[in-house]
Structure 1
Amino acid sequence: MRAGIRFRTLTGSVRCAPGSVRHSTGVLAGLALAAGLLLALTDGAAAAATGAALITVVALALGRYAAGGAAQDTGPRGPTRVPGSRAPALGRWRRTVADALADDGGEHLRTVMRPQLQRLFAARLAERHGVALYRNPDRARALVGTDLWPWIDPGSPAPGPTLPEAVLRALLDRLEAL
């Protein structure tokens, strides 16, 4: 049942559903009261006061956690996911294109330009056509075109050592048309 849903018992009283926040809070408050009474009965008033202070601190910490108080402080965090490579950004595209079109741009084409073009085509194909470039390359080839496909085919190397400017223009025009 959802939190806050109430139901009637056989005696007619209204109770919170087990597992709800209100039910859990009531159970925890009852356990805290019982612990305080046991401390008072067994060890006296000093132990009961110490137990009440400890129970209050724990209750406040749990309440703060439940309310999301740790969202903006320096509490412990889980591991942060770091991307494996830089996403293609438009700010560096002039230099990326210039390096890829240079006579010695083969390494740059293989390591920078082609992976960025593949990511852009993968995103566009998935977004507009529901086609996964890496899982369904035959359908992606049909959408991109057989003449341009070898330049972005993730299953094979580039057809040439450098990227001709006419091919780059055609790839970007096709990307925009998709």
Structure 2
Amino acid sequence: MKAGIRIRTRTGSVRPAPGPVRDSLAVLAALALPAEVLLALTDGAAAAATGAALLTTVALALGRYAAGGAAQDAGLRRPTRVLSGRAPALGRWRRTVADALGDDGEEHLRTVMRPQLQRLFAARLAERHGVEMYRNPDRARALVGNTLWPWIDPGAPAPQPTLPEPVLRSLLDRLESL
């Protein structure tokens, strides 16, 4: 005889822990069969067919849930918004990079490029490392690196008015490697 897990209740009595999913589905199936027979005997074949369709739908939904279909991002949880506003797309990056490295790079770095980099780093740090860049900047600095952190530090201005191309390459390489 297999020893099962036992749970002690508040009253001090000991009861067995709930069985695995297979046992639960077996109990549900055992209850569904008499319900179908009862429907067929009382209301006819149409009611039995409707009941069978309903029971099948419920069984599939419960089976999917029990198998872990709702574990991660199955639409049952409210999605977490890491980025404020729209997610940065890569479609305009060529233009954004060209503008940041161009003659008017100072204004573009302050208004477009640096906020975009900050959002990308914040999303990557939250996604892959569980670190919120704005709430835990020390941990984010440790992950990004002390040399690149001043360029995306949300609490301080950029170290230079323009973004040198080697720094941009290093930032993008680091973003990719995080």
Quote the residue 2:130 is aligned against. Answer: 130
The question of whether the paired residues in 2 share the 8 Å contact of 1:87 and 1:116 is answered with no
The amino acid that maps onto 2:168 is L
Pair 1:116-2:113 in alignment: no
Using structure 2 for the length normalisation, give the TM-score. Answer: 0.52
Quote the residue 1:155 is aligned against. Answer: 155
Distance 2:145 2:110 in 1: 21
Cα-to-partner distance string for 1:46-91 (whole Å, 9 max, x where unaligned): xxxxxxxxxxxxxxxxxxxxxxxxxxxxxxxxxxxxx975532111
The amino acid that maps onto 1:132 is E
- Superposed, 1:53-72 pairs within 5 Å as none
Distance 2:131 2:164 in 1: 27
Q: Quote how far apart the aligned CAs of 1:176 are.
A: 0.4
Cα 1:139–1:100 shift into 2, 3 Å:
same
- Superposed, 1:13-92 pairs within 5 Å as 86-92=86-92
Quote the residue 1:169 is aligned against. Answer: 169
Q: Quote how far apart the aligned CAs of 1:170 are.
A: 0.1
Distance 1:137 1:101 in 2: 27
Cα 1:127–1:169 shift into 2, 3 Å:
same
Quote the residue 1:75 is aligned against. Answer: none
Structure 1: runs of 5+ lacking an equivalent? 1-82
Using structure 1 for the length normalisation, give the TM-score. Answer: 0.52
| Matched positions, count | 96
Distance 2:132 2:102 in 1: 31
- Superposed, 1:94-105 pairs within 5 Å as 94-105=94-105
The amino acid that maps onto 2:94 is R
Structure 2: runs of 5+ lacking an equivalent? 1-82
Pair 1:93-2:57 in alignment: no
Distance 2:146 2:90 in 1: 27
Cα 1:141–1:113 shift into 2, 3 Å:
same
Give the fraction of aligned pairs with identical amino acids, expressed as a percent: 85
Distance 2:170 2:109 in 1: 16
Quote the residue 2:57 is aligned against. Answer: none
Cα 1:158–1:142 shift into 2, 3 Å:
same
Distance 1:154 1:120 in 2: 12
Give the aligned CA root-mean-square deviation in angstroms. Answer: 1.5
